[in-house]
Amino acid sequence: MVGAGLGGLAAAIRLACAGRQVTLLERDEVPGGRAGRLHRDGFAFDTGPSVLTMPHLVGELFELAGERMADHLQLERLDPAYRAQFHDGSQLLVRGSVEAMRDEVAAVCGPAEADRFVRFADHLRRLYEAEYDHFIDTNFDSVLGLARPVVMARLLRLGGFRRLHRLVASHLRDWRLIRLFTFQAMYAGMSPYEALGVYAVIAYMDAVAGVYFPAGGIFSVSRVLADLAVRCGVELRLGADVERVEIAGGRATGVRTLAGDVVPADHVVLNPDLPVAYEQLLGARYTPRRIARLRYSPSCVVVHLGLSGPLKDAAHHNIHFAAGYRESFDDLLAGRTQRDPSWFLTVPTVGDPAMAPHGGSVGFYLLPAPNLHGDAIDWDVQGPAELVSALRRIEQAGYGTPDVVTAEVVTPADWRRAGMAAGTPFAASHHFAQTGPFRPRNVASTVDGVVFTGSGTVPGVGVPMVLVSGKLAAERVLQARTPGSRAR
């Protein structure tokens, strides 16, 4: 296996628990991939995801090994999960339960809207249940995999094939709530005005099922899963950069590292971003033409901030919505920087002060940005200006003047250097022609024995989806017609 991101770790654990011999090669000195760790001047920064939902998917991996997640990972359900700030000065707290959120909506938007919210939350739950087994947690071998009349009829009835914004607006009236339950379309690389209603399940995971924080940050999930993998018998090699997949007679036979070592394998599971895995590890000869035509999600600028003191009135997660909500999506999807930006601020030291030196705090500022297929921007020149802009926005939003000890700016150019196609950590977008059975498959069509995991394949983007992708990849290996005993 190549890549100890969350998808690779999930696949490795499942294969090892099924009795397969697994060697997992990771180029970095720490596991986690995008969910990695950066240390600067005593501050600990999560390098990728900042939100954890559906933690039971992590728990399943411990259960497979006969262990309890609670013995290794300390989780807190956040309440509030988010503080949403709007351009008119109003705010909404996304509370930690439907009941508490009903009271919040009643106080801010009125009792009638609170009643509508409760009905909408139930609708999201039913939509999630309708699509999880048949649309998310499934391997598609053809478009016929969608042709299940009962499932399709239920999704149609629940509005899964309506536009997301229209679906949400049919249940809620307050514009702030509508934005709160549609902005997640950005994670899927789409505008809520074009995304299908099935992607309302992201809002369900985010704002109904609950947002959790692991002590030590999201990297703690990577760390405990890597430790679990080793206890399950996985041979984990850190600092092992893979040069290419070895192929003979149209079948993968192992991988070759940059150090010149050849690791033989019956199946090769690739966790790097799927288009980059094709390009760099399999090569042009084995890359389907369709991969070159993929459309990609917008990217983002991230600014990691190590601060000497707290940020005033900051919640753990803070969303600042643009006045021109639709226009911000239009800009990003047209490959332009946002004229009136929405932005996001996570302060993980609200949940775990130990991630900073005594009295300090950590800030994770995220600004959606065009990917590298958009406007020609010299991000290496623009990077320092993004730090200045981030500090200005944070101060103007009322958090006080940040006293910066250390900072690190990550731009689309940096994401590309880290191995992400088009310079986006959000992978190929989820428009209809790239979702479900139309998304790049998790088995290579040109080389036998190669399986993919991660956000570039099914089911898609986000920590829960990537963990599911590890399950689906493991199933591919275990169900192969000529299964071997080793997965590298």
337 lies in some domain: yes
When divided into structural domains, the chain yields a total of 3
81 lies in some domain: no
Q: What is the CATH number of the domain that holds 381?
A: 3.30.519
235-260 pLDDT tens trace? 999 999 999 999 999 999 999 999 99
Are 117 and 160 found together in one domain? yes
Domain boundary among 201, 227, 258: 201
Are 305 and 412 found together in one domain? yes
92 lies in some domain: no
Quick one: pLDDT band at residue 483, thresholds 50, 70, 90?
very low
Are 305 and 369 found together in one domain? yes
Are 302 and 416 found together in one domain? yes
Quick one: pLDDT band at residue 150, thresholds 50, 70, 90?
confident
Quick one: pLDDT band at residue 120, thresholds 50, 70, 90?
very high
Give me the helices (H) in 158-218, please: 164-169, 175-180, 200-207
Are 180 and 260 found together in one domain? no
Are 318 and 390 found together in one domain? yes
Question: Buried b / exposed e across 101-129, counting CB within 10 Å, b at 16+?
Answer: bbebbeebbeeebbebbeebbebbeebbe
Are 412 and 303 found together in one domain? yes
Q: How many residues does the chain have?
A: 488
Q: Measure the CA dihedral 212/215/219/222, to 10°.
A: -80
pTM over 0.75: yes
* Contact (Cβ atoms closer than 8 angstroms) between residue 95 and residue 106: no
Are 301 and 403 found together in one domain? yes
46-71 pLDDT tens trace? 999 999 999 999 999 999 999 999 99
Q: 388-396 long-range CB contacts below 8 Å, 24 or more apart? A: 390/301, 390/303, 390/305, 390/365, 393/320, 393/343, 393/365, 394/311, 394/345, 394/363, 394/365
The pLDDT assigned to 134 comes to 84
Are 356 and 465 found together in one domain? no
208 lies in some domain: no
For residue 216, pLDDT over 80 is answered with yes
Domain boundary among 173, 201, 229: 201
Domain boundary among 155, 170, 201: 201
Residues 120-135 have a mean pLDDT of 94
108 lies in some domain: yes
The pLDDT assigned to 143 comes to 62
Residues 6+ apart with CB under 8 A from 216: 44, 223, 352, 354, 355
428 lies in some domain: no
121 lies in some domain: yes
For residue 145, pLDDT over 80 is answered with no
426 lies in some domain: no
Are 155 and 116 found together in one domain? yes
Q: What is the CATH number of the domain that holds 19?
A: 3.50.50.60
Q: Is 487 exposed, middle or buried (0-12, 13-18, 19+ CB in 10 A)?
A: buried
**Residue 387: which domain range?**
297-421
The pLDDT assigned to 352 comes to 98
Handedness of CA 69, 74, 80, 84 (dihedral sign): negative
Are 477 and 388 found together in one domain? no
Are 157 and 233 found together in one domain? no
DSSP codes, 299-366? EEEEEEEEESSPPTT--SEEEE--SSHHHHHHHHHTT---SS--EEEE-GGGT-GGGSSTT-EEEEEE
